């Protein structure tokens, strides 16, 4: 374990609960001197106490160790606010609709921030009947590949997991789709909006600024 609960975190959480050191100690069946040692950095609580400490504060053990309190502010569960987490050990893709503390294989995962697509991560979107055909112009080797493509709408998320030496492409029903998200195993998360009237932007990728200007114009005309 490369993280452990700090005395400062225990003190802050205790004060938020308007609890004295003695009151916390009684909940944990330890002495108030033990709690004082934790909070002043002169000792650490035994690992067997972590669950009890977390329960006393009404949080998870993961939140206790990370020092980050998670609150469910995204009560509307709008998929456009989706979060993506990727495990570097097993490649697991984890999706959330609100704030979360995510761990996989003992690693606390950061929420990935999507960048705009660029010349090294070109995405082409074509309408085929009632579907979007999405293709990423990217190599698909064991060392460098696109790990997934997702189509996001306000009420749903469609995700296709991709694998090395396969094709970097996917099809999604068009209904409500507003954004395409995909991940490169080396460079991270990328996203692009579905732009009405521009389905194949291949020509625009020769000049990034020109392409973005075209997309902005399309949004004003059709958005």
> pLDDT by residue (tens digit) across 152-186?
998 889 999 999 999 999 999 998 999 999 999 98
Residue 17 corresponds to which tokens in the numbers above? 């609960």
Domains 7-66 and 115-222 share a fold: no
Write down the pTM of the prediction.
Answer: 0.61
Q: Taking the domains of the chain in order of start, what are their residue ranges?
A: 7-66, 115-222
Q: What is the DSSP string of 109-166?
A: EPPPPPEEP-TTSEEEEEEETTEEEEEEE----SSS-EEEEEEEETTEEEEEE--TTS
pLDDT > 60? residue 201: no
CATH domain 115-222 topology: Immunoglobulin-like (2.60.40)
| Domain 7-66: CATH architecture, name and number where available | Orthogonal Bundle (1.10)
Whether the Cβ atoms of residue 36 and residue 30 lie closer than 8 Å to each other? no
Cα–Cα dist 111/183, whole Å: 13
Burial class for 84, CB neighbours closer than 10 Å (0-12, 13-18, 19+): buried
Specify the higher pLDDT residue, 93 or 208: 93
- Three-state SS for 34-71 is HHHHHHCCCCCCCHHHHHHHHHHHCCCHHHHHHCCCCC
Whether the Cβ atoms of residue 27 and residue 52 lie closer than 8 Å to each other? yes
If phi > 0 it is left, if psi is from -120 to 50 it is alpha, else beta; for residue 45 that is beta
What is the pLDDT at residue 165?
92
> pLDDT by residue (tens digit) across 78-103?
788 888 998 888 888 888 887 777 87
């Amino acid at each position: 374990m490369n993280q452990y609960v700090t005395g400062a975190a225990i003190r802050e959480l205790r004060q938020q609960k308007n609890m004295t050191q003695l009151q916390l100690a009684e909940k944990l069946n330890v002495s108030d001197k033990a709690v004082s040692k934790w909070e002043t950095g002169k000792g650490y609580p035994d690992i067997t106490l972590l669950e009890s400490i977390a329960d006393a504060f009404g949080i998870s053990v993961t939140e206790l160790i990370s020092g980050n309190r998670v609150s469910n502010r995204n009560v509307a569960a709008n998929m456009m606010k989706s979060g993506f987490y990727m495990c570097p050990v097993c490649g697991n893709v984890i999706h959330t609709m609100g704030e979360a503390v995510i761990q996989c294989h003992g690693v606390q995962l950061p929420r990935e921030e999507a960048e705009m697509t660029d010349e090294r991560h070109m995405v082409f979107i074509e309408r085929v009947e009632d579907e979007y055909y999405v293709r990423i112009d990217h190599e698909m080797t064991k060392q460098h590949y696109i790990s997934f493509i997702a189509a996001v709408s306000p009420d749903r998320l469609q995700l296709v997991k991709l694998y090395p030496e396969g094709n970097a492409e996917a099809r999604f029903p068009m209904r409500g789709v507003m954004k395409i998200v995909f991940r490169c195993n080396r460079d991270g998360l990328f996203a692009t909006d579905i732009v009405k009237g521009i389905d194949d932007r291949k020509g625009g990728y020769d000049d990034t600024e020109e392409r973005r200007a075209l997309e902005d114009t399309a949004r004003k005309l059709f958005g």
